[in-house]
Structure 1
Amino acid sequence: IEATMAYFDEKAKEDPDFFYRIRLDDEDRVRNMYWVDGAARRAYKHFRDCISFDATYLTNMYKMPCAPFIGINNHNQSLQFGCGLVRNEDTDGYFWLFKTFLECMGGLAPMNIITDQDFSMRAGIEEVFPLAVHRHCRWHIIKKAEE
């Protein structure tokens, strides 16, 4: 984590709009992490009409799900509006991540958000983004129907 924080500090020197937050537990272990570069923060103001949030990827030795916030620009290209890591996929973890995202984006909530059918995620969205229209991802619905 020290190397990650050093990297983020270096990015913040290069990009004054770079943003990151790390939440530690009582034993100084990472509970949650969120980061985004300045270009993505600036783009979000124009393309926040619909974002996808998915925490299904385990990409590290600690098995912390990687949770990117993805949007689409006016050229139908995907944009990443930041990325989070969550140790526990519970309401508290998602609440922190969504509040941090909202803080980073100057209080501008997404208008629509597409997620899987996770109940903890839904509770966090209802609390932090109360005016956002929340829909479930078609792929997840079909996958669960097949099961």
Structure 2
Amino acid sequence: MAYMAGQSGGYGMLRFTKRDLYNYVHSQKLAQINDGDTAAMISYLEGKANADMMMVARYTKTVDDRLGSLFWADGQMMVDYKLFGDVLAFDATYQSNKYKKPLVVFFGTNHHKLTMIFGFALLEKEEVRTYRWVLLNLLDVMDNKTPSVVVTDGDKAMRAAIAKVLPSSRHRLCAWHLEKNCVAGERT
């Protein structure tokens, strides 16, 4: 609790919570990141964290002090993963945003065959080290629950990261890519 001088010369109380203090310290750290869009994104995620105390966002910075990779998941995503994360699917949109960063969506299905989103990531690059970083953060946020099966498009960097981070999980190709590979095989 802090005290502040009032207009009449008296003192009043200014109340703040641990969360307020955390937000202030974190905003000071963000001031060191020079990219305005990055600061806006982190600020947006902080606002979400104020509404959802389970919300988690983690990021890396590049050597030139720009956003490297960013992972985030909210409380509902964590609950859904706990219940339905035995099969984890993820895919990257191939740099279709203005920053040319791959957007990764982690998802699965529930018992009603509805898609459940478990988390998102913007990656610096599609490399083994970035996929490894995001998978380690996903596991950490999800209380180290390891999926039994991981379904991807078969990207080589994804495969290598899955083998390192999730060695007990079975890696499978998604049906669309299996069909695409079969059709391509028929043409040759």
Matched, 1:117 2:154: yes
Q: CA deviation at 1:29?
A: 1.6
Letter in 1 for 2:55: F
Contact preservation (8 Å) 2:105, 2:117: yes
Write the distance in 2 (CA, Å) between the matches of 1:63 and 1:145. Answer: 30
Q: RMSD across aligned C-alpha pairs, in angstroms?
A: 1.3
TM-score, normalization by structure 1: 0.94
Q: SS where residue 10 of structure 1 aligns?
A: helix
Q: CA deviation at 1:30?
A: 1.8
What pairs with 1:91-130 in structure 2 (closer than 5 Å)? 91-130=128-167
Matched, 1:64 2:101: yes
Write the distance in 2 (CA, Å) between the matches of 1:62 and 1:32. Answer: 12
Write the distance in 1 (CA, Å) between the matches of 2:154 and 2:145. Answer: 24
Write the distance in 2 (CA, Å) between the matches of 1:144 and 1:23. Answer: 35
User: Match of 2:59?
Assistant: 22
Write the distance in 1 (CA, Å) between the matches of 2:177 and 2:130. Answer: 21
Greater Rg by CA: 2
Matched, 1:46 2:83: yes
Alignment length (residue pairs): 147
Q: CA deviation at 1:28?
A: 1.4
Contact preservation (8 Å) 1:57, 1:67: no
User: Match of 2:39?
Assistant: 2
Task: Please identify which structure carries the higher helix content.
Answer: 2
By relative contact order (CA 8 Å, sep 6+), the higher-ranking structure is 1
Pick from 68, 80, 97 the counterpart of residue 117 of structure 2: 80
Residue ranges of structure 2 left out of the alignment (5+ in a row): 1-37
Q: Deviations over 1:37-95 (max 9, x none)?
A: 10110121110111211013434201111110011111111010001111211101100
**Percent of residue pairs identical:** 35
Write the distance in 1 (CA, Å) between the matches of 2:96 and 2:157. Answer: 21
Write the distance in 1 (CA, Å) between the matches of 2:94 and 2:48. Answer: 24
TM-score, normalization by structure 2: 0.74
Letter in 1 for 2:97: N
Write the distance in 2 (CA, Å) between the matches of 1:37 and 1:59. Answer: 24
